[in-house]
Amino acid sequence: MDAPAPPDLRVVPANEATWDDLQAILTGTAGRCQCQRQRLGDRDWWHMPESERAAILRAETHCDDPRATETIGIVAYDAEVPVAWCAIDRRSVFGRLRGSPVPWAGRDEEKDDETVWAIACMIVRKGHRGRGLTYPLVAAAVDHARDRGAKAVEGYPLLTGGSQVIWDELNVGPLGPFAAAGFREITHPTKRRVVVRVDL
Protein backbone atom coordinates (compact mmCIF):
# COMPACT_ATOMS: atom_id res chain seq x y z
CA MET A 1 0.00 0.00 0.00
CA ASP A 2 1.22 3.49 -0.85
CA ALA A 3 2.53 5.64 1.98
CA PRO A 4 1.02 9.10 2.61
CA ALA A 5 2.21 11.77 0.20
CA PRO A 6 5.04 13.95 1.54
CA PRO A 7 3.89 17.08 3.39
CA ASP A 8 6.17 19.34 1.32
CA LEU A 9 4.59 18.30 -1.99
CA ARG A 10 3.62 21.19 -4.24
CA VAL A 11 2.21 21.03 -7.75
CA VAL A 12 2.66 23.73 -10.39
CA PRO A 13 1.56 24.22 -14.00
CA ALA A 14 4.29 22.89 -16.28
CA ASN A 15 5.18 26.36 -17.55
CA GLU A 16 6.24 27.25 -13.99
CA ALA A 17 8.64 24.28 -13.94
CA THR A 18 11.97 24.16 -15.68
CA TRP A 19 12.58 21.99 -18.70
CA ASP A 20 15.45 20.28 -16.88
CA ASP A 21 13.13 19.42 -13.98
CA LEU A 22 10.58 17.86 -16.33
CA GLN A 23 13.28 15.86 -18.06
CA ALA A 24 14.51 14.60 -14.69
CA ILE A 25 11.08 12.98 -14.27
CA LEU A 26 10.77 11.64 -17.82
CA THR A 27 13.42 8.94 -17.88
CA GLY A 28 13.52 5.48 -19.42
CA THR A 29 10.44 4.70 -21.52
CA ALA A 30 8.86 8.00 -20.51
CA GLY A 31 11.95 9.81 -21.76
CA ARG A 32 11.70 8.09 -25.11
CA CYS A 33 7.99 8.87 -25.35
CA GLN A 34 8.22 12.52 -24.21
CA CYS A 35 4.48 12.27 -23.53
CA GLN A 36 3.73 12.42 -27.24
CA ARG A 37 2.20 9.02 -27.95
CA GLN A 38 -1.12 10.03 -26.40
CA ARG A 39 -1.14 13.35 -28.23
CA LEU A 40 0.05 12.25 -31.65
CA GLY A 41 -1.38 8.76 -31.85
CA ASP A 42 0.61 5.60 -32.53
CA ARG A 43 1.27 6.06 -36.24
CA ASP A 44 2.74 9.57 -36.13
CA TRP A 45 4.52 8.95 -32.83
CA TRP A 46 6.18 5.69 -33.86
CA HIS A 47 8.26 7.14 -36.70
CA MET A 48 9.20 10.39 -34.99
CA PRO A 49 12.72 10.78 -33.56
CA GLU A 50 12.93 11.27 -29.80
CA SER A 51 14.45 14.72 -30.28
CA GLU A 52 11.39 15.85 -32.24
CA ARG A 53 9.05 14.45 -29.59
CA ALA A 54 10.96 16.42 -26.97
CA ALA A 55 10.81 19.60 -29.04
CA ILE A 56 7.03 19.30 -29.33
CA LEU A 57 6.64 18.69 -25.60
CA ARG A 58 8.82 21.68 -24.77
CA ALA A 59 6.73 23.91 -27.03
CA GLU A 60 3.48 22.57 -25.54
CA THR A 61 4.49 22.89 -21.89
CA HIS A 62 6.14 26.31 -22.16
CA CYS A 63 8.51 25.21 -19.42
CA ASP A 64 10.68 28.05 -18.07
CA ASP A 65 7.99 30.60 -18.98
CA PRO A 66 5.85 31.31 -15.88
CA ARG A 67 3.99 34.09 -17.71
CA ALA A 68 2.71 31.74 -20.42
CA THR A 69 -1.07 31.41 -20.57
CA GLU A 70 -1.04 27.91 -22.10
CA THR A 71 0.47 24.66 -20.88
CA ILE A 72 -0.47 21.00 -21.14
CA GLY A 73 0.32 19.52 -17.77
CA ILE A 74 1.47 19.84 -14.20
CA VAL A 75 4.70 19.04 -12.36
CA ALA A 76 4.95 17.97 -8.71
CA TYR A 77 7.85 18.80 -6.41
CA ASP A 78 8.81 17.27 -3.07
CA ALA A 79 10.39 20.36 -1.55
CA GLU A 80 12.67 21.35 -4.47
CA VAL A 81 12.97 17.91 -6.07
CA PRO A 82 10.85 17.32 -9.21
CA VAL A 83 9.04 14.02 -8.62
CA ALA A 84 5.99 13.66 -10.89
CA TRP A 85 4.35 14.77 -14.13
CA CYS A 86 0.74 14.62 -15.30
CA ALA A 87 -0.53 15.34 -18.81
CA ILE A 88 -3.88 17.11 -18.39
CA ASP A 89 -5.56 18.90 -21.27
CA ARG A 90 -8.71 19.00 -23.36
CA ARG A 91 -9.69 15.45 -24.27
CA SER A 92 -9.97 16.40 -27.94
CA VAL A 93 -6.22 17.08 -28.33
CA PHE A 94 -5.15 13.54 -27.46
CA GLY A 95 -5.02 11.78 -30.80
CA ARG A 96 -4.51 8.36 -29.30
CA LEU A 97 -7.62 8.74 -27.14
CA ARG A 98 -9.62 9.84 -30.16
CA GLY A 99 -8.63 6.68 -32.04
CA SER A 100 -8.87 4.21 -29.16
CA PRO A 101 -12.06 2.26 -28.42
CA VAL A 102 -11.45 2.55 -24.65
CA PRO A 103 -12.94 6.04 -24.05
CA TRP A 104 -15.88 5.61 -26.42
CA ALA A 105 -17.19 2.05 -26.01
CA GLY A 106 -20.88 2.14 -25.10
CA ARG A 107 -20.99 5.94 -25.08
CA ASP A 108 -22.49 8.62 -27.27
CA GLU A 109 -19.91 11.35 -26.66
CA GLU A 110 -18.85 14.28 -28.80
CA LYS A 111 -15.13 13.78 -29.39
CA ASP A 112 -14.59 17.47 -30.09
CA ASP A 113 -16.17 18.73 -26.85
CA GLU A 114 -13.43 20.97 -25.49
CA THR A 115 -15.13 21.38 -22.13
CA VAL A 116 -14.21 17.78 -21.29
CA TRP A 117 -10.60 17.37 -20.23
CA ALA A 118 -8.59 14.18 -19.79
CA ILE A 119 -5.78 12.92 -17.61
CA ALA A 120 -3.90 11.03 -20.29
CA CYS A 121 -0.63 10.14 -18.56
CA MET A 122 1.05 10.25 -15.16
CA ILE A 123 4.71 9.60 -14.46
CA VAL A 124 6.30 9.39 -11.02
CA ARG A 125 10.06 9.68 -11.05
CA LYS A 126 11.99 6.51 -10.34
CA GLY A 127 13.04 6.42 -6.69
CA HIS A 128 9.87 8.23 -5.59
CA ARG A 129 7.26 5.61 -6.45
CA GLY A 130 5.06 3.87 -3.91
CA ARG A 131 4.70 7.05 -1.86
CA GLY A 132 1.13 7.97 -2.75
CA LEU A 133 2.12 10.78 -5.12
CA THR A 134 -0.54 9.96 -7.69
CA TYR A 135 -3.29 10.88 -5.20
CA PRO A 136 -2.44 14.59 -4.88
CA LEU A 137 -1.40 14.60 -8.55
CA VAL A 138 -4.88 13.59 -9.75
CA ALA A 139 -6.53 16.06 -7.37
CA ALA A 140 -4.24 18.85 -8.61
CA ALA A 141 -4.97 17.93 -12.24
CA VAL A 142 -8.69 18.35 -11.59
CA ASP A 143 -8.08 21.77 -10.03
CA HIS A 144 -5.86 22.73 -12.97
CA ALA A 145 -8.60 21.81 -15.46
CA ARG A 146 -11.35 23.50 -13.45
CA ASP A 147 -9.35 26.73 -13.27
CA ARG A 148 -9.14 26.68 -17.08
CA GLY A 149 -12.83 26.23 -17.71
CA ALA A 150 -13.26 22.46 -17.84
CA LYS A 151 -16.77 21.19 -17.17
CA ALA A 152 -15.62 17.60 -16.63
CA VAL A 153 -12.41 15.57 -16.37
CA GLU A 154 -11.98 11.97 -17.44
CA GLY A 155 -9.39 9.30 -16.70
CA TYR A 156 -8.76 5.83 -18.09
CA PRO A 157 -7.07 3.97 -15.23
CA LEU A 158 -5.75 0.45 -15.11
CA LEU A 159 -7.22 -2.12 -12.74
CA THR A 160 -4.26 -3.81 -11.11
CA GLY A 161 -6.17 -6.36 -9.05
CA GLY A 162 -3.56 -5.99 -6.33
CA SER A 163 -0.83 -7.38 -8.57
CA GLN A 164 2.51 -5.74 -9.28
CA VAL A 165 2.40 -3.65 -12.45
CA ILE A 166 5.39 -2.11 -14.21
CA TRP A 167 5.35 1.68 -14.43
CA ASP A 168 5.54 1.63 -18.22
CA GLU A 169 2.07 0.04 -18.16
CA LEU A 170 0.69 2.17 -15.34
CA ASN A 171 1.15 5.55 -16.99
CA VAL A 172 -2.66 5.87 -17.22
CA GLY A 173 -2.75 5.64 -13.43
CA PRO A 174 -4.38 3.18 -11.03
CA LEU A 175 -8.04 3.52 -10.06
CA GLY A 176 -7.49 4.49 -6.40
CA PRO A 177 -6.33 8.10 -6.92
CA PHE A 178 -9.24 8.80 -9.27
CA ALA A 179 -11.79 7.36 -6.85
CA ALA A 180 -10.28 9.42 -4.02
CA ALA A 181 -10.65 12.59 -6.13
CA GLY A 182 -14.37 11.95 -6.70
CA PHE A 183 -14.31 10.31 -10.12
CA ARG A 184 -17.08 7.80 -10.82
CA GLU A 185 -16.99 4.86 -13.21
CA ILE A 186 -18.70 5.54 -16.54
CA THR A 187 -17.86 2.38 -18.47
CA HIS A 188 -15.74 -0.75 -18.10
CA PRO A 189 -14.68 -1.31 -21.73
CA THR A 190 -12.01 -3.96 -21.13
CA LYS A 191 -11.12 -6.40 -18.40
CA ARG A 192 -8.37 -4.14 -17.02
CA ARG A 193 -9.48 -0.63 -18.01
CA VAL A 194 -12.28 1.62 -16.81
CA VAL A 195 -13.42 5.06 -17.88
CA VAL A 196 -13.96 7.40 -14.95
CA ARG A 197 -15.24 10.97 -14.85
CA VAL A 198 -15.80 13.85 -12.46
CA ASP A 199 -18.23 16.61 -13.43
CA LEU A 200 -17.19 20.06 -12.25
Per-residue pLDDT reduced to its tens digit, 120-146 = 999 999 989 888 999 999 999 999 999
pTM of the model: 0.91
CA 106/CA 154 separation, integer angstroms? 15
- The pLDDT tens digits for 21-47 are 999 999 999 999 998 988 888 788 888
Q: Can you tell me whether residue 139 is helix, strand or coil?
A: helix
CATH number of 9-199: 3.40.630.30
Cα within 13 Å of Cα(24), Cβ side: 15
* Closest to 90 measured CA to CA, from 15, 145, 23, 158: 145
